[in-house]
Amino acid sequence: MITLDRKIRVLVAKVGLDGHDRGAKVVARFLRDAGFEVIYTGLHRTPEEVAMAAVQEDVDVVGISLHSGAHLTLVPKVMKYIEEFGGDLNELVVIVGGIVPADDIDKLKEMGVDEVFIPGTPIEKIIDYIKARVPEKKRTGEKV
């Protein structure tokens, strides 16, 4: 595994009308405490706002937290706008967390999401995944 010469930058985003952000804030704090640089977008962001922030902040990871049930609509929009704004999804790790029905996890991965973390996932699993996946995507520049 290769390593980066800077901290891994993670954007944590709440997209749409979802007003539940406690989990996103808890995960953001744990990621920060694990040594990542974390940017939290706040509540009620549009897909365009999240994508623009991801590109402007030159993040390595976009973490989208959803509890509204709109994941199959909002996540692909964020990814589309990231590409439109000049981001490279082949080098960017996209993860989704929150309330995602088991049947939708594979659908999100088929859309290009790298991983989905549901409530109860140990934070160490998320941290370890990011630490392993970011260098791999940076090295290969493609989905693995």
For 10-50, how does the pLDDT look when each residue is reduced to its tens digit (9 = 90+)? 999 999 887 788 889 999 999 999 999 999 999 999 999 99
Three-state secondary structure call for residue 70: coil
Domains of the chain: 9-140 (3.40.50.280)
Angle formed at CA 42 by CA 41 and CA 47, multiple of 5 degrees: 60
Q: Identify the CA nearest to 15 among candidates 59, 66, 58.
A: 66
- Give residues with Cβ within 8 angstroms of 58, minimum separation 6: 9
pLDDT of residue 4: 59
Residue 128 CB neighbour total at 10 angstroms:
12
The mean pLDDT value of the chain amounts to 93
Query: Is the pTM of the predicted complex or chain greater than 0.75?
Result: yes
Q: Is the dihedral of CA 12, 30, 26, 135 positive or negative?
A: positive
> How far apart (Å, rounded) are the C-alpha atoms in residues 100 and 124?
20
* Confidence band of 63 (pLDDT split at 50, 70, 90): very high
**Do residues 81 and 61 make contact, with C-beta atoms less than 8 angstroms apart?**
no
